[in-house]
Amino acid sequence: MTHATSTPTSSHSPFPPVAGEHAVTTLNDGTPVLIRPLRPEDREREQAFIRRLSPESRRCRFLGEMREASSPLLDSLMDTDGVTRVAYVALAHDNGELREVGISRYASASDRTRCECAVTVADDWRHRGLAVALMHHLIDTARRNGFQTMYSIDLAENHDMEELARHLGFTRVPDSSDATLVMHTLQLSTTH
């Protein structure tokens, strides 16, 4: 797996001007995507993104069966503050509109030294380097915000996440209380 490249948007960008933190990332197949922090106005995009995921992708992301994101779940997913709860959305052109094609996020654990992460890519956008690009943004932000450890809890059968985690340097251990789950962990700080 190779790392997609990121460049700041310019006058040659295929995307409209964007204020604030953002990057246009060229994926492994040459497709450009805009990656920026999730905003309140992305709520409908986020709901549509979850709705378009295959049942298997939703099960891997939410660790169980679900058909639709409830209003309380969407409230939780949209609740970001840029430090303890962060999300990066990947947007791509689809019939003249920007469509959400991936998202990465973390939320701080109660001790404020660890954060739990997740990454989800639309089924038709997988294996292009998008998950790696989204996770690099997330990992860099977690480091800047002082977190020491990032972790995710995943289905043991989720081999795409296993491959991504290995590529990014996460370690993998079985969940001692549930054989269907594993924990992936990445040390963010160099001091222990």
Determine, yes or no, domain membership for 128. Answer: yes
CA distance 169 to 82: 24
Compute the CA torsion angle 19, 22, 27, 33 (nearest 10 deg).
Answer: -30
Q: Which domain holds residue 174?
A: 5-9+20-187
Determine, yes or no, domain membership for 39. Answer: yes
Sorting pLDDT into bands at 50, 70 and 90, what band is 10? very low
Q: Would the pLDDT of 190 be above 70? A: no
| Residues β-bridged to residue 150 | 115, 186
- The per-residue pLDDT for range 79-124, each reduced to its tens digit, is 999 999 999 999 998 888 889 999 999 999 999 999 999 999 999 9
Helix (H) or strand (E) holding 164: helix 159-168
Determine, yes or no, domain membership for 15. Answer: no
DSSP letters for 93-158: EETTEEEEEEEEEEEE-TTSSEEEEEEEE-GGGTTSSHHHHHHHHHHHHHHHTT-SEEEEEEETT-
Tokens, residue 43? 């709520």
Q: Would the pLDDT of 159 be above 80? A: yes
Q: Average model confidence (pLDDT) for the chain?
A: 87
Q: How many CB atoms lie within 10 A of CB 93?
A: 15
Average pLDDT over residues 51-73: 84
Compute the CA torsion angle 176, 177, 179, 181 (nearest 10 deg).
Answer: -90
Pairing of β 97-108 and β 85-94: antiparallel
Please tell me the pTM assigned to this model: 0.86
3-state helix, strand, coil in the chain (%, to 5): 30, 30, 40
> With 0-12 CB in 10 A as exposed, 13-18 as middle and 19+ as buried, what is 173?
exposed
Determine, yes or no, domain membership for 14. Answer: no
Count up the domains in the chain and report the number.
Answer: 1
Determine, yes or no, domain membership for 192. Answer: no
CATH number at residue 53: 3.40.630.30
